[in-house]
């Protein structure tokens, strides 16, 4: 554990501009620096770095954070890794919270782990050399040629894509058929059999002493972690050297067992090679197999990764999320691939990833498809990817739906209702519902122009059917479920999706305008405080800030609270700028992040002046809002002829007018 004092020292001493400048060319602009964003593709700079705050923000992709976040995102490091990296940069010696004994133990453990990486590295080299030199490796080359991948100096590899770079990047190798080739090599290198066994390269013989190779006559893919270290191997079955036939009994892939350096559910095949492309494109492509990854990579589609012989896990989703917010699932078109797609929805949600689904016509796997149709066709299939909910709804309301009987239709409609209701974000829900409407029109039930009508049509025909066969009580229940939305969320989404009926439309236009204006002014005032947080300690400014309402008022209160906390800890603005941001109301986040990275006012007086003039505007808007209420009330009493009430209102009106006048003088 790095001590909290060390972390605090790093926060204090590290200069974010220096850190960012290592990867981004920055130029000064006002109080901040700007450059081309390293997290998305752009031609004009929208990446802002604020040296005073130690904060960065991109107006394009909205990435933001401290020097820690920058290093973590740009280099895919964990927090402790980023801390070590920054400490080195700032010349800070890392203090660990540990006793001398604990430290010695930790060092010994680290050495043991380093040994495991070193042995895997030796093995990777050996497998690579076998692919080049071993006579039986020609069967491996033939398999690569069958996949349309060729390398220079390999005869018989035909007219495939020149894949030297990809084969090297993925460290393709060959495990020869003998029993102890690798075992002997490792012994020669002075590697202890215990260590090699621990990472599953060799296994002790069951009869008698000695060990044997775990991978035999297989095409070898190195599994590489995000720091470029070989953590394991994945070996693909090859046709028998004698018979030329693939042994059906033998598993298609054998992977390294889990070890202290390899957990399959937390590792993604190809992530190391794909990480820059994933960050640049803001998106990863997830395929099922190792060969898909290598094959797409060799053809220039380089943001591709695959889970390692397991279902896609939440830990893997989080790993992708370190590099990009979006993943496109490109699973095989078979039943297993469809099931994996359905299950990935929850996985992506848990990992904070937006999931899309791309479909390859003809139910092919990506490797088959790209060989047959080329990279451009695959790229356009990726571009046509739909949101995962939309994809799943379309899969339910497909031709099978049209062909199905009324009970099957009811079950499928209910499935769609549940899918839509399970979406938490109301905006997404509304979008998905209107998408379901589109599909409902297409599926071709008479009169089903929207999903609601489709549901009704199905419920009606089910009711007809059950009248004909009244014993079918259970399906009636299903029909009822299908006919009424299963949650209040859904009905909310439906209402929102219909223009002109939402609650926002109850507000008169002038009120909406005045409200927008007040929000805008509130933001401007909040911006002044973000530019100069010490305005919160200014008595006059404090008075002006009392005019704020809504989210801006909440934000100022939260900032003041954070500032108090920060002052106690001897810091200017709370312990961590992201923590400060997290305290602000959601609708303000983007505005506040932008303003913290790129302040508008250079001088405190300017900020203060804008604060006051805006407070005055808010006060006036508040008065005219009251005036409008009074006028409305006057109209009402005029109609009823209540002169006493009219008199009271007029007097109230005058009092407010005087207050407004006094305000103008003040
Ligand atoms: Zn950006």
Rounded-to-integer distance, Cα 583 and Cα 562, Å = 8
Rounded-to-integer distance, Cα 124 and Cα 18, Å = 37
The CA-CA-CA angle for residues 210, 211, 214, to 5°, reads 170
Q: Is the pLDDT at 316 greater than 90, yes or no?
A: yes
What is the dihedral sign for C-alpha 257, 261, 266, 271?
negative
Judge contact between 61 and 324, C-beta under 8 A.
no
Q: How confident is the model at residue 432 (pLDDT cuts 50, 70, 90)?
A: confident
The side-by-side arrangement of strands in the sheet containing 268-269 is 268-269, 304-307, 283-286, 326-329, 354-357, 386-387
Q: From ligand 1's centre to the CA of 270, what distance in Å?
A: 24
Q: What is the pLDDT of residue 382?
A: 94
Q: What is the pLDDT of residue 512?
A: 62
Q: What is the pLDDT of residue 216?
A: 94
Q: How confident is the model at residue 540 (pLDDT cuts 50, 70, 90)?
A: confident
Q: From ligand 1's centre to the CA of 85, what distance in Å?
A: 23
Q: What is the pLDDT of residue 643?
A: 64
Q: Is the pLDDT at 54 greater than 90, yes or no?
A: no
Q: Is the pLDDT at 500 greater than 50, yes or no?
A: no
Q: Is the pLDDT at 402 greater than 80, yes or no?
A: no
Q: Is the pLDDT at 344 greater than 90, yes or no?
A: yes
Q: From ligand 1's centre to the CA of 376, what distance in Å?
A: 26
Direct distance between the N- and C-terminal alpha carbons of the chain, in angstroms, rounded to an integer: 58
Mean pLDDT, the chain, rounded, equals: 81
**How many angstroms separate the Cα of 258 from the Cα of each of 108, 172, 197, 199, 234?**
21, 20, 11, 7, 12
Mean pLDDT for the stretch of residues 392-415: 81
Q: From ligand 1's centre to the CA of 527, what distance in Å?
A: 22
Q: Is the pLDDT at 197 greater than 90, yes or no?
A: yes
Looking at the chain, the whole-number percentage of residues with pLDDT higher than 90 is 33
Q: Is the pLDDT at 515 greater than 60, yes or no?
A: yes
pLDDT tens figures, 66-102: 999 999 988 888 888 899 889 988 888 877 766 777 7
Mean pLDDT for the stretch of residues 615-637: 73
Q: From ligand 1's centre to the CA of 516, what distance in Å?
A: 28
Q: From ligand 1's centre to the CA of 145, what distance in Å?
A: 40
Regarding predicted confidence, which is higher, 591 or 647? 591
Q: What is the pLDDT of residue 19?
A: 92
Q: From ligand 1's centre to the CA of 283, what distance in Å?
A: 13
Rounded-to-integer distance, Cα 559 and Cα 533, Å = 8
Q: From ligand 1's centre to the CA of 32, what distance in Å?
A: 16
Q: What is the pLDDT of residue 490?
A: 43
Q: Is the pLDDT at 570 greater than 60, yes or no?
A: no
Q: From ligand 1's centre to the CA of 399, what distance in Å?
A: 42
Q: How many helices (H) and strands (E) does the chain have?
A: 29, 19
pLDDT tens figures, 99-149: 777 778 878 888 889 999 999 999 999 999 999 999 999 999 999 998 888
Cβ neighbourhood burial of 141 (10 Å; 0-12, 13-18, 19+): buried
Mean pLDDT for the stretch of residues 424-442: 77
Regarding predicted confidence, which is higher, 162 or 625? 162
All residues with CB under 5 Å from ion ligand 1: 37, 39-40, 58, 60-61
Q: What is the pLDDT of residue 656?
A: 64
Q: From ligand 1's centre to the CA of 308, what distance in Å?
A: 31
Q: Is the pLDDT at 488 greater than 60, yes or no?
A: no
Regarding predicted confidence, which is higher, 31 or 468? 31
Q: From ligand 1's centre to the CA of 21, what distance in Å?
A: 15
Regarding predicted confidence, which is higher, 371 or 574? 371
Cβ neighbourhood burial of 441 (10 Å; 0-12, 13-18, 19+): middle
Cβ neighbourhood burial of 425 (10 Å; 0-12, 13-18, 19+): exposed
Regarding predicted confidence, which is higher, 638 or 82? 82
Q: From ligand 1's centre to the CA of 280, what distance in Å?
A: 9
Of residues 197, 184, 188, 180, the one with CA closest to residue 120: 197
């Amino acid at each position: 554990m790095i001590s909290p004092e060390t972390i605090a020292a790093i926060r204090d001493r590290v200069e974010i501009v220096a850190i960012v400048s290592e990867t981004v060319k920055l130029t000064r602009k006002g109080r901040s620096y700007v450059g081309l964003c390293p997290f998305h593709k752009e031609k004009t700079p929208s990446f802002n770095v604020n040296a005073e705050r130690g904060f960065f923000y991109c107006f394009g992709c909205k990435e933001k954070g401290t020097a820690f976040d920058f290093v973590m995102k740009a280099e895919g490091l964990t927090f402790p890794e980023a801390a070590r990296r920054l400490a080195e940069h700032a010349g800070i010696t890392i203090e660990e919270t540990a006793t001398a004994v604990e430290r010695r133990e930790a060092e010994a453990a680290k050495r043991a782990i380093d040994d495991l990486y070193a042995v895997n590295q030796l093995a990777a080299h050996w497998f690579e050399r076998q692919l080049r030199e071993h006579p039986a490796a020609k069967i491996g080359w033939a398999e690569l040629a069958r996949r349309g991948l060729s390398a220079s100096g390999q005869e018989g590899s035909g007219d495939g894509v020149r894949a030297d770079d990809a084969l090297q990047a993925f460290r393709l190798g060959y495990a020869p058929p003998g029993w102890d080739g690798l075992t002997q090599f490792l012994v020669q290198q002075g590697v202890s059999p215990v260590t090699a066994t621990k990472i599953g390269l060799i296994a002790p013989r069951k009869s008698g002493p000695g060990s044997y190779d775990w991978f035999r006559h297989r095409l070898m893919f190195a599994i590489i972690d995000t720091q470029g270290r070989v953590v394991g191997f994945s070996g693909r079955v090859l046709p028998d050297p004698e018979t030329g036939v693939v042994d059906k009994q033998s598993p298609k892939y054998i992977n390294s067992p889990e070890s202290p350096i390899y957990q399959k559910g937390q590792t993604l095949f190809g992530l190391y090679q794909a990480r820059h492309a994933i960050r640049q494109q803001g998106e990863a492509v997830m395929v099922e197999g190792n060969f898909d990854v290598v094959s797409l990579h060799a053809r220039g589609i380089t943001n591709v990764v695959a889970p390692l012989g397991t279902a896609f896990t939440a830990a893997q989703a989080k790993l992708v999320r370190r590099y990009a917010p979006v993943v496109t699932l490109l699973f095989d078109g078979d039943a297993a691939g469809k099931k994996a797609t359905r299950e990935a929805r929850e996985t992506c949600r848990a990992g904070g990833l937006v999931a899309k689904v791309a479909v390859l016509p003809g139910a092919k796997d990506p490797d088959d498809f790209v060989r047959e149709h080329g990279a451009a066709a695959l790229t356009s299939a990726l571009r046509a990817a739909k949101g995962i909910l939309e994809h799943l709804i379309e899969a339910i309301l497909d031709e099978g739906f049209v062909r199905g009987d009324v009970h099957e239709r009811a079950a499928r409609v209910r499935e769609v209702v549940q899918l839509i209701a399970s979406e938490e974000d109301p905006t997404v829900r509304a979008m998905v519902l209107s998408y379901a409407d589109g599909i409902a029109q297409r599926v071709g039930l008479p009169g089903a122009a929207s999903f609601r009508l489709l549901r009704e049509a199905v419920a009606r025909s089910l009711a007809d059917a059950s009248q004909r066969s009244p014993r079918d009580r259970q399906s009636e229940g299903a029909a009822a479920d299908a006919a009424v939305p299963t949650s209040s969320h859904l009905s909310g989404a439906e209402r929102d999706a219909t223009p002109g009926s939402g609650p926002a439309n109850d507000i008169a236009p002038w009120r909406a305008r005045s409200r927008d204006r007040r929000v805008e002014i509130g933001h401007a005032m909040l911006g002044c405080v973000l530019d100069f947080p010490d305005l919160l300690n200014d008595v006059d400014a404090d008075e002006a800030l009392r005019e704020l309402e809504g989210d801006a008022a909440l934000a100022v209160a939260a900032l003041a609270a954070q500032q108090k906390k920060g002052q106690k800890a001897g810091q200017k603005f709370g312990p961590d700028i992201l923590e400060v941001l997290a305290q602000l109301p959601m609708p303000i986040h983007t505005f506040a992040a932008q303003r913290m990275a790129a302040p508008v006012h250079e001088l405190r007086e300017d900020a203060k002046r804008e604060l006051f003039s805006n407070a005055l505007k808010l006060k006036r808007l508040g008065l005219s809002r009251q005036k409008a209420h009074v006028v409305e009330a006057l109209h009402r009493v005029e109609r009823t002829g209540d002169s006493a009430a009219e008199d009271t209102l007029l007097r109230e009106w005058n009092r407010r007018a005087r207050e407004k006048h006094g305000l103008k003088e003040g």
